Structure 1
Amino acid sequence: MKNKLHKYAEFDLDAVFERFYETMLSNEDFSGFFKDQAQIRSLITRQKRFLLESIPMTEDEIKSRYIALGEMHYQIKVPYADYMAGMNILEKGLIQAVVLRNEPSEMLETTFHFFKMIRAYTAKGYLNKLLEADIEDIDHYLTHVQRASEMDTLLATERVIWLKNVIFAIKIENRAAAPALHMPIEISNMIEAATKDDPVLTRYATEMAGRMELNARNVFYFLEKGSYEEVLPLYRELMSIYKLTLMLTNVVTIASTHQLMQSLSKDTLTGLLSRHSLISILSRELSIATAGQYPLAFIMLDIDHFKQVNDSFGHGAGDQVLAKVAKTGAGLIRATDYAFRLGGEEFLLVLKGASFNIATAQAEIIRQQVENLQFEFDDRQHRVTVSLGVVVFSPPFTLTYDQMLDAVDKKLYAAKADGRNRVAS
């Protein structure tokens, strides 16, 4: 069924588009985007042809045509707001033409309806491309996080996964395909645990999560009505809040880690955290891991035959070995993980969210890197090796701190008993 725009074919649209051209020239916001008047004139000519070609089309054909136009404008980076402002000018010109010709009110309604379709379907085109780009960005983020650190920023990752599912439901315009729009209790618990020392951050994080939920609900409300011009700004705001959520998570991680590090004593030789700080850190991290339902991996390592280094080359040589091994081990874990010197030649690494396979592989990498280190004592090159034990603890954490350390110490002992320079897990 054809639309009611056929009467436009009887109009002299040259005058309408000429006024459109003059308005474009006089508006610095529009004219500033073009190189010269010839480029503006070319645009006006194309828009006139586009409108005339749309007149004999059905509404479904117009929908397809303007969705494609919106997608093209997104790709060539035409601002949606500026395009809509131009459409407002053109609509005003056509309404004036209708009034001057004393057309019946039905023609005015047809004009309003036509431009409503233009706005909605062009917005739908922009939205299509935004959804594609955002899904691609989210997939890249998730792949990067999981590959680089296996759920390093778990709170942000959970929100990103939730958002990706919402975006997919928006893309297929199916509310039933979306996840629950309210904030899941596990994410709420994670926010509370991660920000428990700062009530302002807790309130801010919870507020942003609520705003994401509200915006998602509003998006689906207007989506069901086909009001894409209303959906687009709401969706953009939803994505802005999502980006703020990622920033907040980083701020929480950085701020809490910085605050924690300031209060901790460090081992003066290696620069690692000392054994005195172990209990306070484990207490905090076990609480957060319990709320977030992710594991903690313990890697305990000991320098093989370290006493021989001290006895043969002196304590200065031993200190050099300790410092270099500590630097190597700490340099192979993430900034959000922890490296402790427990005493003597024994070290402990705590990896947040690492699975058994990841932790074991990381321990093997450390073993190989230490084995490749070179030390010069008495004008000769020397090497050292380490033995490592690995245990991964998952919530609920029922063991005491001493029992956890004892469990990983037994794995370390097994590595030494099996010949040293190896990983036991």
Structure 2
Amino acid sequence: MTEKSTQKIIDELFRHFYRELLSEPHYAVFFERYDVDLIRQKQGQSFLELLELSDEDIHENGLKIGKIHINIGLPFEDLYAGYHKLQQLIPIYFNEHWLVDHQLFRRLSLQKMAAAEGYFQSYIQQMAHEIAITVEKRNLLLRPSYAELANQPLICLKEILGHLLDEESPLPEMDYEVCPLTDQLANHTCLNGEERIELEKLHSLQHIMGHNFLFFVKSKEYALAVFLLSRFYGMALDLSNRIGLAFQMSFIQELQKDPLTHFYLRHDMETLIDSALNLSVADKRNVAIIMLDLDDFKFINDSHGHLAGDHVLKEVSELFSQVVRESDKIFRYGGEEFLILLDGAGIDVASGIAERLRKLIENHPFDLGMHRTTKITASIGIAAYHPATMEKVPSARHFIDVCDRMLLKAKHSGKNRIEYC
């Protein structure tokens, strides 16, 4: 086979290659902005030169190919799919003896591996830059303490990439148990139970993926490293976004809470109760509310001052935390009146919570300041909805009115007692 005939066959090979490539819609769209004939000619010439290159030159050539492809925005899987398609077409145009003599598949394989390495090198540079921009944006959007915590998964990945770009840059802490974020997620007060479990699980998976990623890089399995890095970045970004969202929601909720007791303010109360009642029908789940009013609280304000009254209200709110469940929502309904929404609780559960709360308040010495204490009691009303036995779903307003009537009944019946219907 002469050099001229080889050139002609290579030209036919690449015409066939691009004909099949452009028959696929996403390739056709991608190459609309390029001169395909010029690219085809250049690739054909490069393919011809590949037959004469040393292994070292093939490696350098492959590195350039990988970097070119990422710079023009071609996904890595498409680069590798192109090599696979070319390897399928080659036996159609060249006989087996010629392929063996020229070691074409070995050469092409070397170039393919080097292209993966070149793609990977450019990819980590691009990703490190993208992470830096994302971190900076989050610093502007979140409160500093929240942004610092939310950015940690991304900063961890950025430090790994920084180490790969410059070995003198230290790796982040790769041990999940020792990682600072592990302890912060476990102990941060802004996270509820379910959020905490989900974030800790994602964080643990990020560490596992980090170890796997570094193993592939160390083993020079750059194709696998590229694929894993894409998933690694997606997981780090997801974890970072979820932490940021959890803290944003916590901050918003804090704005909706009473600054003294840290209970919810009542402006969203009816909406939340309506939502719980409507969902209870579909889920066949009970719903109850408790209204609690501190007996003769006006006497404390009038006799000891409003600052002393605030001391008592703050201590009452702390007693609530010993009794109510994490899923329950507590509202400051009035000055010394509170409402608890018990989603998933029937009259028995609600009565048990109310009685424990009544006893706690009755037996607690409340601090008035200036080394003074006092005793108070509470009257409580309960309303419960059981979808299994009640056909009509009450409105939130009606539900609250019923509970309020039970509270008034407890007041009129001697105070320091519970009434329910």
TM-score category (smaller protein): 0.5 to 0.7
1:1-40 Cα distance to aligned partner (Å, 9 max, x none): xxxxx9x96993233223213312432232232339x933
Q: Say which SS state the counterpart of residue 97 (structure 2) adopts.
A: coil
Q: Give the match for residue 222 of structure 1.
A: 216
Q: Secondary structure at the match of 1:12?
A: helix
1:193 has 2:190 as partner:
no
How much has 1:106 moved relative to structure 2?
4.8
Q: TM-score, normalised by structure 1?
A: 0.53
Listed one character per residue, the Cα deviations across residues 26-67 of structure 1 (whole Å, up to 9, x for unaligned) are: 32232232339x933332212111212232222222222222
Q: Residues 196, 139 of structure 1: CA spacing in aligned structure 2 closer, same or farther, 3 A cutoff?
A: closer
1:257 maps to what in 2?
251
> What is the deviation of 1:232?
0.3
> What's the counterpart of residue 56 of structure 2?
60
CA distance 1:122–1:88, change in 2 (3 Å): same
Match of 1:170 in 2: 164
Cα deviation, 1:251-284, whole Å, max 9, x if unaligned, reads 11022223333332589xxx9xxx969979xx9x
1:80 aligns with 2:76: yes
Residue 149 of structure 2 aligns with which residue?
Answer: 155
Change (3 A) 1:89 1:55: same
The root-mean-square deviation of aligned C-alpha atoms, in Å, is 3.8
* Letter of the structure 1 residue corresponding to residue 257 of structure 2: S
User: Is residue 117 of structure 2 the alignment partner of residue 124 of structure 1?
Assistant: yes
Amino acid paired to 1:203: I
Aligned partner of residue 103 in structure 1, secondary structure: helix
Corresponding residue for residue 18 of structure 1: 15
List gaps (5 residues or longer) in structure 1.
1-5, 284-401, 403-425
Against the structure 1 CA distance between its residues 107 and 213, is the aligned structure 2 distance closer, same or farther, given a 3 Å change threshold? farther
Q: 2:150 touches 2:240 (CA, 8 Å); kept in 1?
A: yes
Answer yes or no: is the 8 Å Cα contact 1:145–1:151 preserved in 2. no
Provide the identity percentage. 15
Counterpart code for 2:77: A
TM-score (norm 2): 0.54
Question: Any conservation in 2 of the 1:138–1:164 contact (CA below 8 Å)?
Answer: yes
What is the alpha-carbon distance in structure 1 between the residues aligned to residue 70 and residue 138 of structure 2? Answer: 28
Query: Is contact 2:139–2:147 with CA below 8 Å preserved after alignment?
Result: no
Distance 1:144 1:262, change over 3 A: closer
- In the other structure, the counterpart of 1:382 is none
User: Using the alignment, how far apart are the partners of 2:160 and 2:244 within structure 1?
Assistant: 23
CA distance in 2, matches of 1:115, 1:200: 51
Q: Deviations over 1:278-323 (max 9, x none)?
A: 979xx9xxxxxxxxxxxxxxxxxxxxxxxxxxxxxxxxxxxxxxxx
- Asked if 1 retains the 8 angstrom alpha-carbon contact of 2:146 and 2:247, the reply is no
Preserved contact between residue 76 and residue 119 of structure 2 (Cα < 8 Å) = yes
State the Cα distance separating 1:125 from its structure 2 match: 2.3
Mapped to 2, the partners of 1:147 and 1:32 lie a distance apart of: 37
Give ranges in structure 2 of 5+ residues lacking alignment.
Answer: 266-306, 319-368, 370-421
CA 1:279–1:222: 2 relative to 1, 3 Å: farther
Structure 2 contact 260–314 (Cα < 8 Å) conserved? no
SS at match of 2:175: coil
Match of residue 175 from structure 2: 182
